[in-house]
Amino acid sequence: MRMTRLFGRTLREAPSDAEFASHQLLLRGGFVDQLAAGVYSYLPLGSRVKRRAEQIVREEMDRAGAEEVLLPAIHPVELWERTGRDQAFGETLFVVEDRRSRRLVLAPTHEEVITRLFAGHARSYRDLPVTLYQIQTKFRDEARPRGGLVRVREFTMKDAYSFDLDEGGLDESYDAMYRAYQRIFDRVGIPTVAAEADSGAIGGKGSQEFLFLTRIGEDTVLLCDCGYAANAEKAEFVRQPSGDEVPRPLEEVETPGVTTIEGLAAFLGVEAERTAKAVFFTATWADGREQPLFAVLRGELQVNEVKLANAVADDGSPPRLRPMTDAEVADAGLVAGYASPIGVGRGVRVVADLSIPGSPNLVAGANREGIHLRNVNFGRDWEAEVADIALAEPGHLCARCAGAGTEGRALRSEHGIELGHVFRLGRVFTESLRVSVLDEQGTQRVPTMGCYGIGVDRLVAAAVEAHHDEHGIIWPATLAPYDVHLVALGASRDAAVAEEADALFEELRVAGLDVLYDDRDESPGVKFADADLLGLPVRLTVSSRNRREGVVELRVRAGAESERIARDAVVARTAELHAAETGALNGAQASARL
RNA sequence: CGGGGAGUGGCGCAGCCUGGCAGCGCACCUGACUGGGGGUCAGGAGGUCGCAGGUUCAAAUCCUGUCUCCCCGACCA
C-alpha cells in the first residue's frame, strides 16, 4: 500500500478525550475513529489489524474442531423472555421496534439463538459433540462505556458454543477451547492469566477468564505464587481464627453513638476481627419475590455481593441484591448500627461468613440503640447458614495452597482487562428451551453446553497496551496491519531513490510480504515519526546516501539499533526476520503466562 | 443512575470573569527554499463558537433549558 493512497492520517496530538495509551495511539495513528460513546469506526489500518486478529482466532477455532456459523444479530424479544434473560440483562439490552411494533433485541450474545439452532438440527447422540462459533458484532448498552476500545457498546466478539451429552464430554469440549484460547493469546503476543470467575448473567457453573494484566483494567484479580488466580468476585481465601479461647458469658456493653466497626473497635479497644459486622440486603428473585437478607461477617471483612447472591441462590439462579432501605431495616425489626444476629425476626434470612464459626467471643450489636454485646458465640448464642460471602483482599491467605502442609501464601491483587471467558454452562439453556436428543438407548437426554467468548476489539486494544513506547505502537508481527514499513527519503529530488524504492516495494510483495510504502513527499523526521507511531515490525529506509553505498537501512521497531543491509540481500533478510517473528509467536508454547 | 469536568475549523487550545472584528499552534491547499528524526518563508481554503430559548442596540461571552462527550462511582458477558 502506498501511503499517498492510504485513507486516514496521523495526528501529532491525541484527542483530549483519550486517556489510555492504547486509545491515544489508535486514534493518533488513524486506526480508529470515535462516532459516539463506545461506538467506533475502523479505518483501513485498524481494519487490517482487526482482520488479522480475527483470522488467528478463526484458525485456532478451526484447529480445535469448531465449525463456523453466522447467526442473526436481531432476535425476537420473545426468545429472550423464554429464558428470562431479557430481565437478567435489563437495560444493557438494546431493544428496537419494527414497523409492526414487534420488539427485537440487538443481540448482546447468542446462547438462545444457538440453542434453538441446535435444537432444530440435532436429533441424536450421533450429532454430538459439536462446537459452533461465529465472529460477529454484539450490542450492549453499557451503563458507562470507557477506555477507548476496552468497554464499548458495539463490538466484535468471537463466541463459541459446545453441546455434549454428559459432563465428561463437556470437560473435553471445554478443555479444547481452553487450549485454543491459550494458543490465540500466545499468537497475538498478549500475556494473559486464566482466572477463575463468577458466571454472571450468562449463568451456569464454573468459568475462567483470560485477563491481560494492566493498571487500566476494570477487573480485579487475586493471584497467588502457587498459580491460583481468581476474579475478585470469586476468589477464595482462608479465614484464620481470631481467637482460640473458650466462650465467655455474654455481657452487654454501652456504646452510645458507636455505629461503625471502626468506631466500635476503637471505642472498646479491640481488633476489628474480634467484632461481628452485620450488613442487610433485600434480595429480589427472578419471579419478583423479595426477602430480607442479614449477612454476618467478621468485622475486618467486606461483603462480596456476588458470593452472597450465589449462596442464597434458588436452583442455581441467584437473586439481585440491593441494600435495604431505612424503612425495610425498621420493618425487619433491626436497629441500624446495633443490629444483632441474635434474635433476628422470622422472615429474615441470616447468612454467616466462614469466618464466623472460628471466631469466639465476638462483639456484636444488641439490636438496641447504644448497646453492643460482648462474647457473642456462634452456635451457642445464635445459628445461621454458613457460606463464603466475604471479599478476598490482598494479604489474605490463598485457599488453594493452604492445607497442603502450609498455611497458604498471601494473595496479591492486580487489575486486568478481560479478553476472553470460557464457561461450563451446563443445561440452563437446553432445559429452559426444552432441547433434547436421543442417546444410544433411545432415551431423551438434555445436552449440556459450554460457551466461550473473545472480545476482538479488546484484543486489539490490549495488544497496543502491552506493546508500545513513547513514540508509538510496537505491533506484534502477527497483528501488524502491514509487515514492512518502506520509507523512501528524498525521492522527489533523486529519481534513482524513487526507482529503487519502487523496485523494492515490488520485490517485497513478490516475497509475500505486506508492505506499507511511504512514498509521500515529506521530510525524514515526519516519515520516521509516523513509522514509529504506526508501529510496523520492520522499517526499511531507501535514500540517496544509502543508495550510494549500495545498502538499505533496516530497523526493527522493537529494537534500538538499525542495520545496513546490502541492497541485493535486503528482501531475503526482511523475509527471514518476518518469518522468525511470526514463527516465534505462532509457535510459542503456553509459557510466559503468570 | 449519583458526583465532577468539558463542548470555539480535522486535532490541541486561547478568548468568556469585565458583552462590541472569532483568534493561535498543528494539520490541509498553492508556490519557493530545505532535505536523515515532526524544517523555513510567502500566499490561501476551512468555524451558524453543541442546540434551543431569553436578556441586550449588540451574545462565543450574561440567564434558562436541553443534548453530547470524558472522568470517578454504581452497574457490567
Q: Which nucleotide C1' is nearest A11 CA?
A: B11
> Percent of chain A scored above 70 by pLDDT?
97
- pLDDT of A405: 67
Q: Which of the 116-145 residues on chain A come under 7 Å of nucleic strand B at their beta carbon?
A: 138, 140, 142-145
| Residue A149: CB atoms within 10 Å | 30
Nucleotides in chain B near protein beta carbons (<7 Å):
1-2, 10-13, 25-28, 34-39, 68-77
Average pLDDT, chain A: 92
Threshold 0.90, pTM exceeds: yes
Q: Which long-range contacts (CB under 8 A, 24 or more apart) does A102-106 make?
A: A102/A76, A102/A77, A103/A76, A103/A77, A104/A74, A104/A75, A104/A76, A104/A77, A105/A74, A105/A75, A105/A76, A105/A77, A105/A79, A105/A80, A106/A73, A106/A74, A106/A139
Query: Which among A4, A6, A2 is positioned nearest to A47, based on CA atoms?
Result: A6
Round and report the angstrom distance from CA (A309) to C1' (B72). Answer: 26
Residue written as cell 484447529?
Answer: A63
pLDDT band at A200 (very low <50, low <70, confident <90, very high): low
d(CA A67, C1' B12) / Å: 48
What is the spatial distance, in angstroms and rounded to an integer, between the CA atom of A567 and the C1' atom of B40? 34
Model pLDDT, residue A84: 85
- pLDDT per position as a tens digit, A173-183: 999 999 999 99
Nucleotide showing the shortest C1' distance to residue A148 CA: B70
Quick check: A147 CB within 7 A of strand B? yes
How high is the pLDDT of residue A366? Answer: 92
Residues 407-436 of A with CB under 7 A from strand B: 421, 423
Which pLDDT value is given to residue A319?
83
Spatial distance from the CA of A89 to the C1' of B13 (Å): 42
pLDDT, one tens digit per residue, over A214-251 is 999 999 999 999 999 999 989 999 998 888 889 999 99
Q: Which nucleotide is nearest to A159 (CA to C1')?
A: B77
Q: What pLDDT, on the 0 to 100 scale, is given for residue A591? A: 43
% residues pLDDT > 90 (chain A) = 74
Contact, A11 CB vs strand B, < 7 Å: yes
Taking residue A168's Cβ as centre, other Cβ atoms within 10 Å add up to 10
* Residue-level pLDDT at A588: 55
Residue A16 predicted with pLDDT over 90: yes
Cα A159–Cα A165–Cα A169 angle in degrees, nearest 5: 70
A318 touches strand B (CB under 7 A): no
For position A451, what pLDDT does the model report? 95
Q: Of chain A residues 149-188, which have a beta carbon within 7 Å of strand B?
A: 151, 155, 157
Query: Amino acid identity of A250?
Result: L
Q: What confidence score (pLDDT) does residue A178 get? A: 96
Report whether A50 contacts A460 (CB < 8 A): yes
Positions 326-355 of A with beta carbon below 7 A from strand B are: none
Q: What is the model's pLDDT at position A189? A: 96
Q: Beta carbon of A9 within 7 Å of strand B?
A: yes
Lowest mean pLDDT among A82-91, A230-239, A360-369, A388-397: A82-91
Better pLDDT: A234 or A511: A511
Higher pLDDT, A148 or A522: A522
Instruction: Return the pLDDT at A567.
Output: 97
Between strands A349-353 and A385-387, the pairing is: parallel
Q: What are phi and psi of A448, to 5 degrees?
A: -110, 145
pLDDT of residue A259: 82
Nucleotide nearest to A487 (CA to C1'): B36
Q: A407 versus A187: which is more confidently predicted?
A: A187
Q: Closest nucleotide (CA of A564 to C1')?
A: B36
Average pLDDT over residues A342-351: 87
Residues 6+ apart with CB under 8 A from A286: A84, A87, A88, A317, A319
* Whether A559 CB is under 7 Å from strand B: no
Report whether A231 contacts A195 (CB < 8 A).
yes
- Backbone φ and ψ for A182, nearest 5 degrees, come out as -60, -45
Query: Which residues 465-494 on A are within 7 A of strand B at the CB atom?
Result: 471, 489-490, 492-493
The pLDDT value recorded for residue A203 is 52
Spell out which residues of A between 78 and 97 contact strand B, using CB within 7 Å: 92
| Strand B at less than 7 A from CB of A322 | no
For residue A40, pLDDT over 90 is answered with yes
Give, in Å, how far the C1' of B45 lies from the CA of A25.
Answer: 29
- Does A307 contact strand B, using a CB cutoff of 7 Å? no
Residues near A287 by beta carbon (within 8 Å), at least 6 away in sequence: none
| Within A 13-72, residues with CB less than 7 Å from strand B | 13-17, 19, 34, 36-38
Q: Does residue A201 register a pLDDT over 60?
A: no
**A439-471 per-position pLDDT tens digit:** 999 999 999 999 999 999 999 999 999 999 999
pLDDT digits (tens, 9 = 90+) for A46-66: 999 999 999 999 999 999 999
| A543-CA/B42-C1' distance, Å | 29
Q: Can you spell out the DSSP letters for A338-379?
A: S--STTPPTTPEEEEETTTTT--SEEEEEEETTEEEEEE-BT
On the question of pLDDT at A589 being above 80, the answer is no
A214 Cβ nearer than 7 Å to chain B strand: no
Closest nucleotide C1' to the C-alpha of A493: B35
Looking at residue A314, what is its pLDDT? 74
Is beta strand A130-139 parallel, antiparallel or unpaired with respect to A67-68?
Answer: parallel
Contact A276, A356 (CB under 8 A): yes
